[in-house]
Structure 1
Amino acid sequence: MTNLEVHDTAPLGPVSDLEGDLASLRGDCARMSGHWSPPAPVSSLPVSPSLIHGVTVPPTSARLLDAMSDYGD
């Protein structure tokens, strides 16, 4: 079982420090973008149709999709 007791809290400044405008958010993102690297490109090879055997859908998922008007009607 997880212990959910909180013994100490992190110090918070004024609420205005937590709020910002879109320009400050964009500036923060621009400064951090150099720290992020894009994922390596994934090249997938074609699969022979003889290797495709179909899709198995659990009955509960099929009932869920059947109940959705976009899919079941």
Structure 2
Amino acid sequence: MTKHIAARESRESEMSLDQLRGDCARMAPHWVVPAVTAPAPVHHSLIHGVVVPPSSARLLDAMSDYGD
């Protein structure tokens, strides 16, 4: 059995980067992005039941941004 291996050039697309950009620009209007709504702030007294494991607390305490 013989195996025919195609040349790399014939396997790859002949599309240039400029052509790809053009295709993407034409498709962009079809991609609908939902509106992002910011979550409503929650009062601190309503937040309860959050448990931080001791190992995580030590990790944050060791970070200069949080522990100093």
TM-score (norm 2): 0.47
Higher radius of gyration, 1 or 2: 2
TM-score (norm 1): 0.45
